[in-house]
Amino acid sequence: MSDPLIIAGTEIKSRFFLGTGKFSSYKLMREAIEASGAHVVTVALRRVDTRARQENILEFIPKGCIIMANTSGARSGEEAVRIARLSRALGAGSWIKIEVIPDNTYLLPDNAETIKATEQLVKEGFVVMPYMNPDLADAKRLRDAGASSIMPLGAPIGTNKGLLTRELVRILIEEIELPIIVDAGLGRPSHAAEAMELGAQAVLVNTAVAVSNDPVATAKAFSLAVCAGRMSYVAGVNPESERARASSPLTGFLKEKE
């Protein structure tokens, strides 16, 4: 059964998005991207150096991938807009993940500033994917501002705690008619599968892959988990029950009298 993910008129070949931070080398990063089959890859502007001959990160991203620059380091909507413009000028394209994070302790996004940046960048022709605290009212504001997807956090960045915001994400999936892409905090392939079974359209993972003992194998495991979770969601997950139900009849066994 065909189950395409379409964002901004583009069919995305993989529902597993991969970030490029924290890898020990660009070569290892490339191998992880290839193993996962990721189609959308995020890159922070500070790692883009088009003047570098051997260590330009863009040269290590497989051809055919969509490069989605992120505004990592922005503390306001204004800074996020400036970073997005610089990123496009450096050749990273028009797909942009908006991150506005003024909080140094928990690295939680500022939804209000994110909305401001989204409004401006949509006007300038960017494909905007805002990272946000999962709040329904703010998700609607981002949708109305022209966002191409909504990217709620599963847990604080880099914590590997999984889908702590499960119920809030579920509400966004139910109420927002844009792709919901769970971003941040997913530490295990099972976390990714859980998000997909809930109905998320995709997940974005970075730390859990990049700092694992074997980033290439972990990237592949996450990709398989995303596929399994999506297949389960499309097939229809059975509801939970308070009472046990036998999978085989309990009466009539060996002519047992009822």
CATH architecture assigned to 10-238: Alpha-Beta Barrel (3.20)
For 53, counting Cβ atoms within 10 Å of its Cβ (0-12 exposed, 13-18 middle, 19+ buried), the class is: exposed
Q: 3-class DSSP state for residue 9?
A: coil
Which amino acids are annotated catalytic? 97
**Mean pLDDT along residues 242-257:** 69
Pair of tokens at residue 108: 């939680």
Q: Assess contact for 153 and 109: CB atoms under 8 A.
A: yes
128 three-class SS: strand
Given a cut of 90, is residue 49 above it in pLDDT?
Answer: no
For residue 253, name the pLDDT band (cuts at 50, 70, 90): low
Q: Look-up: residue for tokens 């909305």?
A: 115
Please state, as a whole number, how many other Cβ atoms lie within 10 Å of the Cβ of residue 75. Answer: 14
Please determine, for residue 51, whether its predicted confidence score (pLDDT) is greater than 70.
no
User: What span, in angstroms and rounded, lies between the C-alpha atoms of 7 and 127?
Assistant: 9
Sheet-wide strand order for 66-70:
151-152, 127-132, 95-98, 66-70, 40-44, 16-19, 202-205, 181-183
CA–CA distance, 129 with 106 (Å, rounded to integer): 21
pLDDT digits (tens, 9 = 90+) for 95-145: 999 999 998 899 999 999 999 999 999 999 999 999 999 999 999 999 999
- Check whether 45 has a pLDDT greater than 90: no
What is the C-alpha separation between 33 and 218, in angstroms, rounded? Answer: 11
- Alpha-carbon span 79 to 48, nearest angstrom: 17
**pTM greater than the 0.85 cutoff:** yes
CA geometry: angle 93, 6, 91, nearest 5 deg: 5
Most distant CA pair in the chain, distance? 84
Domain residue ranges in the chain: 10-238
